[in-house]
Amino acid sequence: MQAAELSRISRELRARTIVNAHRTGTPHLGSCLSCMDILTAAYFHALRIDPSDPRSAQRDRFILSKGHGAPALFQVLAMRGFYPKTLLADYGKDGSLFAEHPPAPNYLPGVEAATGSLGHGLPIALGMALAGRVNHAGYRVIALLSDGECNEGSVWEAAMLAAAQRVQNLCAVIDYNKWQATGRSEDVMALAPLADKWRAFGWSVREVDGHDLMGLAEHLSCVPDGSGKPVALVAHTVKGKGVSFMEDDNNWHYRIPNEQDTERAVRELGMSEVLA
């Protein structure tokens, strides 16, 4: 897929996520916008998936380990054709499948793991990657983590086992927007140097621009990368990316956009038709 097309998709996904946050009062908008380009590059370029056969044994697996990015994932899966966009009209209603975090697999096509409690996705992804080896299946597993999530010890437990097992069909993408819920990720838990940490844990590490869609598409496609190690992409991102008044403002971790915010954001994204 060409850069212009990917860019249009990610702008539309951003707009739809913002409108949904306004309509349903769903938080974590900053986190969703931060990882939208990674999701777009994965789902619209890198992943070998077939929405008409979502449980295919050979499919690539994508685990949204930062489960609070679910409002973004739900839009992505709908646009990618795992379920009709009209299903999203239920969002926020009683009896809906759409919580603020992904539901258990089998309840919504395309969802691989019910994340939301941080530090669970990478171990699950590692188990899936190891199962691929046992079953001689050629699939790859990508887990998307937040930088705040790297506070969790289980992330590093998984990192060590993946390195010991020389798991090559596993990729961890870290959405490194330098914020966590209540402060700078560097101040809360001394996260830097993040790429060096992953390197020291035995991973093949690349630091990438988390908003360069074509670059992301290429890196995500290049798993295994020939190093014999699991791959970590430390993706430098901006929380709230794509909307001038949300960018790098951590208030949008929890703030819900009002009507005026929503219209302005969608206009900035050039996606006014989404409001219609």
Partner 1 sequence: MRNAFADEITRLGERDHRIVLLSGDIGNKLFDAFKERFPKRFYNCGVAEQNMMGVAAGMALSGLRPVVYTIAPFTTTRCYEQIRVDLCYHGAPVVVVGTGSGLSYAELGPTHHSLEDLAIMRVLPDMTVLAPCDELELRAGLAAALTIPGPSYMRIGKKGEPKVHHALSSFELGKVIPLLEGSEICLIATGTIVPVAMDAARELNKRGLSTAVVSAPCIKPFDEAYLQDAFSRYRLVATIEEHSRIGGLGALVAQWRVKHENSAARLISFGADDVFMHEIGSQDYARSLHGLTMGNIAQRCAEMCSKMVASEESPCVASA
Q: Which residues bind partner 1 (CB under 8 A)?
A: 57, 104-106, 112-114, 117, 119-120, 122-135, 153-154, 157-158, 160-161, 164-165
Q: Nearest approach, Cβ of 107 to partner 1 (angstroms)?
A: 10
Place of tokens 């239920």: 90
Closer to partner 1 by CB, 70 or 129: give it.
129
Q: Nearest approach, Cβ of 17 to partner 1 (angstroms)?
A: 25
SS3 letters across the chain = CCHHHHHHHHHHHHHHHHHHHHHHCCCCHHHHHHHHHHHHHHHHHHCCCCCCCCCCCCCCEEEECCHHHHHHHHHHHHHCCCCCHHHHHHCCCCCCCCCCCCCCCCCCCCCCCCCCCCCCHHHHHHHHHHHHHHCCCCCCEEEEEECHHHHCHHHHHHHHHHHHCCCCCEEEEEEECCEECCEEHHHHHCCCCHHHHHHHCCCEEEEEECCCHHHHHHHHHCCCCCCCCCEEEEEECCCCCCCCCCCCCHHHHCCCCCHHHHHHHHHHCCCHHHHC
Question: What are the residues whose beta carbons fall under 8 Å from the beta carbon of 40, sequence distance 6 or more?
Answer: 6, 9, 10, 13, 76, 213
Closer to partner 1 by CB, 132 or 148: give it.
132
Closer to partner 1 by CB, 161 or 222: give it.
161
Closer to partner 1 by CB, 163 or 189: give it.
163
Closer to partner 1 by CB, 52 or 106: give it.
106
Q: Nearest approach, Cβ of 166 to partner 1 (angstroms)?
A: 13
Q: Nearest approach, Cβ of 149 to partner 1 (angstroms)?
A: 13
Closer to partner 1 by CB, 44 or 198: give it.
198
Place of tokens 């990015």: 69
Q: Nearest approach, Cβ of 117 to partner 1 (angstroms)?
A: 6
Q: Nearest approach, Cβ of 126 to partner 1 (angstroms)?
A: 5
Whether 232 contacts 160, CB under 8 Å: no
Q: Nearest approach, Cβ of 55 to partner 1 (angstroms)?
A: 10
Closer to partner 1 by CB, 18 or 118: give it.
118
